Structure 1
Amino acid sequence: MITSVRLSGRHLSRSAKPGPPREAPKPPAPSPGPSWSRWLLPIATLVLLIVVLIRTSAPQEGASLSYSEFVGKVGVGQVKTVDIDDKGAIKGTLKDGKKFTTRIPTALDNSRLEQQLQSKNVKITASRSSNGSPLGTLLVLLLPLLLIVALFMWTGRQAARTLGGGLSAIGRARAKIIETERPTTRFEDVAGYGGVKQEISEIVDFLRSPERYAVAGAKGPRGVIMVGPPGTGKTLIARAVAGEAEVPFLSVTGSAFVEMFVGVGASRVRDLFAEARKRAPSIIFIDEIDAVGSRRGGAARLGGNDEREQTLNQLLAEMDGFDQASGIVVLAATNRPEALDPALLRPGRFDRHVTVPLPNQTERAAILAVHARGKNLAPDVDWDTVARATPGFSGADLANLVNEAAINAVRAGGAVIDAQGLGDARDRLLLGRRESTNALLPEERRSVAVHESGHALTAALCEHADPVAKVTILPSGPSLGATEQLPEAERHLYSEGYLTDLLTVRLGGRAAELVVFGEGSTGAADDLAGATQLAARMVREFGLSPTLGPIGYGSGAPRYLGGESTEETLHRPYSEQTQRIVDEETARLLRQAEERAVALLRDHREALDTLAGLLATRETVDGAVVLDVLQQQQRSGGHHNTAKGKPTPSP
């Protein structure tokens, strides 16, 4: 079940408009040599090895005979000539013209062999053995050394091409320098975010007209860091700054400072700021700065990553060291502000912290309109309605939504995006792919229909719950059904009544199973997990427990990537006794919510059975059907407290 989607947020458009004419571009860098040149050294080494093997391997002359065979052939008079060297090797010729080789055993008495050769009139000659030419012998001795040297030379050249200049270029900053003629994105291409653009535009104005600030004695900011959830467009804002400032823009990621060599990160930081000084006034943009700016290890973390800490120390020193009059401003972006070192965030380094939140409803409508440019839209598409149905979507999510709707249109054989296609794309992103082959058993289909009817009816009966938009029992992804609720307006604060109703709606599906079947099922597992998490936060963070009192144990720092740190898990700021109270109060809230849901559905059992039957037949109904079912029960003499907005007493 889906009782609420993600919270609110913001985004920026990706369209670009051509900027004013710029200066002539610099000549391109000389192209590297041909690709075949890299193979010259390995081929030369291979040829050298072949030559050495050929020169050192002596060709074998004739068949090789054993000593016994040789003596036998001498005895029968088949041997014509023999040539014996000083090491006992024999080369000879038989009377039929064939050549042979053999060796005399040095441990035997060879005087009889000599007499036998003379008696058979065999021509005997003597020679001196040869181990090959001196050059070949020298090559054999030096071959291993030559191969090692060749391997080092080849590896060095490959590393030079990879690092862009060899070992001397390892410490150079890999910054992408965007000169004034290249940026095309402007602030007008960014949808929404008026406050963020105002903060950033002051930096642009300072770089363009520093004398205006000098008259008032004001100093421009050294750095601005943008924090926010992923997909909200922090990098796009930086591109817009590059387009508006008309100054050189040096872009680099935090991970580019970290290499396997010690001291490389600090060297690259120095090189980056040196390049910025040469091009001043200029802007340095460090994306994902948490990769290099994470908290340094203290006394409790001896033996930390010294290379990363040295890189961070150098970054801090550079931001303190450059003169503000030089016109260098550092922009940074991260979605993990809780991981950054406090020394990096203090005034004088990053003077301004700009939060880029998720877009609100008005901004989502503007973002959707931007991403729909160039696409064929049906007349029934209303971006305000789509924006209301997508709370918590980031700019990247909205772009994906429009693209998914376009893909659905093509899959259906058309090229026009309509409202139904956008709704299907939204369900696809939230719930997963529709499983047309995942057929439910008849009893499972009935159980899912009752479960989702319980969610829908409790949502319609609770005073503070969001209105029901759609109820379906079609399997999508891991979900067998869904009850979608759309908020009437953007919420920034959540009252205790709203949270209590939300718990009741979450447990409405399990309550319907208890009312109809007398037992629960595994279909409520996800509902129970979400309700338990919400109830625990109500007790532990929101101070909504009378037993525990007005005490909150929140995490403090925003976590845009979610999750809980290991340190907070191992070292909780409260005792085991407090944890026991938290568990008891969480269970109490859940029991009360379930009892309330069961009581509401028992009072409206007729509407529950009717809505479950409609779902089993139609598979999908909208929120108006849920209200009609409740009104039918009211007209037939059912429970009188069915209209939403009227308080329903809790049992």
Structure 2
Amino acid sequence: MSRTARPGPPPTPPPPPPGPRHRAGLLGWLVTTAGVAGIVLLIVTPMLRTSQSAALTYSELLAKVDQNQVSAITVDSAGAVNGSYRDGKSFTSQLPTALADPRLTTALTAKNVAITGEKSTGSGDVLTSLLGYLPILLVFGLLWWAGRRALAGTGGAAGLGGMGGFGRSKARIIEAQRPTTRFADVAGYEGVKQEISEVVDFLRDPSRYAAAGAKGPRGVLMIGPPGTGKTLLARAVAGEASVPFLSITGSAFVEMFVGVGASRVRDLFSQARDRAPSIIFIDEIDAVGSRRGPGGMGGHEEREQTLNQLLAEMDGFDQSTGIVVLAATNRPETLDAALLRPGRFDRQVAVPLPNQAERAAILAVHIDDKRLAPDVDLTVVARGTPGFSGADLANLVNEAAINAVRDSRTTLTAADFGTARDRVLLGRRDASNALLPEERHSVAVHESGHALVAALCEHADPVAKVTILPAGMALGATEQLPEAERHLYSEAHLADLLAVRLGGRAAEILVLGQASTGAADDLAGATAVASKMVIEFGLSPALGPIGYGHSSVPMGTDDRAEPPGRPYSEQTQRVVDEEIARLVREGEARALALLRQHREALDRLAARLQEEETVDGSVVRAILRDSGGHPATRPEIPAHQGYLPAAGGLATARNRAR
């Protein structure tokens, strides 16, 4: 039974012969080396000459002649003396010609010293002049070398495109055989991958689209928050398409020299045409594609020229050549409207923050090379990380691994992930940040108020952990794990959120008789929620169903006609302020009422926190039941696995802002 031999790898192509650019680089290196060597010789040669001959003063010279130690001297017209001793050693000196002293001549004649005269060559003046002109010579040499580079870079025509390589594109070219990232390596984002994969399919088989009369996209703009994997998706496109992939960042186009950015754009598209079909990927395109004109984000002439050239290239290249431009940005509102019109970036793909299921899939990718303990449940970890991007999740897994290394372990436990989440959200726990006894009691009362109000409110997220251990800027924290991924928030949920935010301050007022500075962050968060309820969500009876929206400008619109500042009058602002204050006061009053009704549970939970420092959410619900209270009815969440820290614990932030 015979087996067909598997073909071996293709032979490695021989290296290309050195071209004009290589020779120009070698020539520039030789010119630089010669210039440095000339400077060294001009400076070191006089020093060496001086060090070989001892310098004598005029008085010392007379003494040496009187002692009959001098055999011969040579004197030039400037009075410089070069002589030799009778033992063969040499010396130098200088005659004081202004004194016209005859003693030296008499002594030399008496001692039979050979005297020779010569005309001065002015070598010192020559060296000084050469050193003075050396910078000018170096400048002219650099310009000559740059001109040769320009000729080599443009095929014989001088221009900016080859001058020192400034005008050449800095794109990183990835050929078809090199990429290893595939769509299978990108967890989640199935809809995004489907839209991007159509670009790959068009490059592989454009005849399918031509048969239906469809045209492939010229440009695809990926929009999403930082860390959501836009660049990773672009790398996956390079791996799937099996075509050359030219990658560059928007900032690489902009230089201090006029016209360099436009030249680099031309060179980039020229390289893409030479390798067509191909893909151009421009990361952070907002660095070069900002809006032009007064009131826009641009206004810089060189940047505008670069953008104009990019627009012209995207408009001008032949679609049949198979060039597709991918771009990514996290600031779409700053882009010029001309970039976003059909015919340039035909398709805009949103890459949002991952949902709970996608976060679990992303975590599974990042733990592929790590050992996990049986108590680790990635679903629980994903539930506890709302608002985390893919980069945040990668950092979370890395922090968990670092925490395991600190304990001399190679297996990651659920406690490691809980500690890592605390570390990412709040910062490192400082063991030296000890609280005074009265501060410890105040923090315990404060966090107990948050936890009890959250347990009593029907629409609030369930409590997962309460701690009074300081970490970062927080002295304590109450963690809540959402039951499911929310996309819409009802008015009842927002009202419960306000009450939970102000539960700590209400507990301090109820138990201690006064509030403290510990509620500053809670007040800021509650005020922000109330502001959105009034201004954006239309949940104020005084204003009615009116939403003023975000202050940012919608993508692709012209903001020059919109005046800066708030889009409503001073009178409306007064009503807005009154409504915000009303909502915050109502939230605090509701929290006070709930805590007065369950005062026994509040005191017991505060005492338990002072004793144990960190308690689980099930403890909060048990204390509430034992005290005659009834926690809000909601689906029971799984046993808490990932957020009980090791001895000492960590305080974490409350629900991450979505």
Q: Do both share a fold (TM > 0.5)?
A: yes
Contact 2:173 2:246 in 1 (8 A): yes
Query: What's 1:143 paired with?
Result: 131
Aligned ranges 1:495-510 → 2 under 5 Å: 495-510=490-505
Report the Cα distance in structure 1 between the residues aligned to 2:610 and 2:580, rounded to whole angstroms.
Answer: 34
Query: What's 2:231 paired with?
Result: 235
Contact 2:78 2:120 in 1 (8 A): no
- Deviation at 1:610? 0.6
Which amino acid in the other structure matches residue 370 of structure 1?
A: V
Change (3 A) 1:346 1:84: closer
Contact 1:282 1:329 in 2 (8 A): yes
Contact 1:21 1:181 in 2 (8 A): no
Say whether residues 1:442 and 2:430 are aligned partners: no
Change (3 A) 1:548 1:152: farther
Say whether residues 1:44 and 2:38 are aligned partners: yes
Change (3 A) 1:543 1:93: closer
Aligned ranges 1:524-535 → 2 under 5 Å: 524-535=519-530
Aligned ranges 1:334-345 → 2 under 5 Å: 334-345=329-340
Query: What's 2:282 paired with?
Result: 286
Moved more, 122-131 or 288-297: 122-131
Say whether residues 1:245 and 2:229 are aligned partners: no
Contact 1:185 1:240 in 2 (8 A): yes
Moved more, 253-262 or 400-409: 400-409
Moved more, 175-184 or 41-50: 41-50
- Deviation at 1:65? 2.7
Aligned ranges 1:201-350 → 2 under 5 Å: 201-298=197-294, 300=295, 304-350=299-345
Query: What's 1:608 paired with?
Result: 602
Change (3 A) 1:279 1:605: same
Query: What's 1:17 paired with?
Result: none
Moved more, 186-195 or 85-94: 85-94
- Deviation at 1:51? 3.2
Q: Which runs of no fewer than 5 residues in structure 2 stay unpaired? A: 1-6, 154-161, 636-658
Say whether residues 1:426 and 2:415 are aligned partners: no
Change (3 A) 1:124 1:407: closer
- Deviation at 1:385? 1.5
Which amino acid in the other structure matches residue 196 of structure 1?
A: V
Change (3 A) 1:395 1:159: farther
Say whether residues 1:627 and 2:616 are aligned partners: no
Partner of residue 59 from structure 2, selected from 56, 65, 76: 65
Report the Cα distance in structure 2 between the residues aligned to 1:385 and 1:303, rounded to whole angstroms.
Answer: 45
Change (3 A) 1:452 1:28: farther
- Deviation at 1:382? 1.5
Report the Cα distance in structure 2 between the residues aligned to 1:85 and 1:246, rounded to whole angstroms.
Answer: 80
Query: What's 1:471 paired with?
Result: 466
Change (3 A) 1:79 1:240: closer
Query: What's 2:640 paired with?
Result: none
Structure number with greater CO (CA < 8 Å, separation at least 6) is 1
Report the Cα distance in structure 2 between the residues aligned to 1:285 and 1:575, rounded to whole angstroms.
Answer: 45
Contact 1:55 1:132 in 2 (8 A): no
Report the Cα distance in structure 2 between the residues aligned to 1:567 and 1:631, rounded to whole angstroms.
Answer: 60
Change (3 A) 1:360 1:92: closer
Query: What's 1:10 paired with?
Result: none
Change (3 A) 1:613 1:85: closer
Change (3 A) 1:518 1:210: same
- Deviation at 1:498? 0.7
Report the Cα distance in structure 2 between the residues aligned to 1:447 and 1:604, rounded to whole angstroms.
Answer: 18
Report the Cα distance in structure 2 between the residues aligned to 1:117 and 1:438, rounded to whole angstroms.
Answer: 91
Report the Cα distance in structure 1 between the residues aligned to 2:563 and 2:508, rounded to whole angstroms.
Answer: 35
Say whether residues 1:354 and 2:349 are aligned partners: yes
TM-score by length of 2: 0.82
Moved more, 396-405 or 228-237: 396-405
Q: Which runs of no fewer than 5 residues in structure 1 stay unpaired? A: 1-19, 647-651
- Deviation at 1:48? 3.1
- Deviation at 1:532? 1.0
Report the Cα distance in structure 2 between the residues aligned to 1:124 and 1:280, rounded to whole angstroms.
Answer: 88
Change (3 A) 1:546 1:81: closer
Moved more, 58-67 or 394-403: 58-67
Say whether residues 1:456 and 2:451 are aligned partners: yes
Query: What's 2:656 paired with?
Result: none
Contact 1:472 1:615 in 2 (8 A): yes
Report the Cα distance in structure 1 between the residues aligned to 2:56 and 2:137, rounded to whole angstroms.
Answer: 40
Which amino acid in the other structure matches residue 231 of structure 2?
A: T
Change (3 A) 1:386 1:55: closer
Change (3 A) 1:59 1:438: closer
Change (3 A) 1:88 1:353: closer
Change (3 A) 1:211 1:93: closer
Once the two structures are superposed, what CA deviation does each residue of 1:8-53 show, in whole Å capped at 9, x if it has no partner? xxxxxxxxxxxx9986565556698799976553133211333356
Report the Cα distance in structure 2 between the residues aligned to 1:376 and 1:213, rounded to whole angstroms.
Answer: 47
Contact 1:250 1:283 in 2 (8 A): yes
Contact 1:65 1:100 in 2 (8 A): no
Aligned ranges 1:566-645 → 2 under 5 Å: 570-634=564-628, 642-644=631-633
Change (3 A) 1:143 1:583: same
Query: What's 2:119 paired with?
Result: 130
Query: What's 1:517 paired with?
Result: 512
DSSP-derived class of the 1:65 partner = helix
- Deviation at 1:80? 13
- Deviation at 1:139? 4.7
- Deviation at 1:104? 6.3
Moved more, 396-405 or 300-309: 300-309
Once the two structures are superposed, what CA deviation does each residue of 1:334-354 show, in whole Å capped at 9, x if it has no partner? 111111111111111001000
Report the Cα distance in structure 2 between the residues aligned to 1:83 and 1:26, rounded to whole angstroms.
Answer: 69
Contact 2:168 2:263 in 1 (8 A): yes
- Deviation at 1:407? 1.8
Say whether residues 1:411 and 2:400 are aligned partners: no
TM-score by length of 1: 0.82
Report the Cα distance in structure 2 between the residues aligned to 1:385 and 1:121, rounded to whole angstroms.
Answer: 110
Q: Percent identity?
A: 63
Change (3 A) 1:83 1:405: closer
RMSD: 4.1
Contact 2:449 2:504 in 1 (8 A): yes
- Deviation at 1:142? 3.1
Aligned ranges 1:74-89 → 2 under 5 Å: none
- Deviation at 1:141? 3.0
Which amino acid in the other structure matches residue 453 of structure 2?
A: T
Change (3 A) 1:158 1:450: farther
- Deviation at 1:182? 0.6
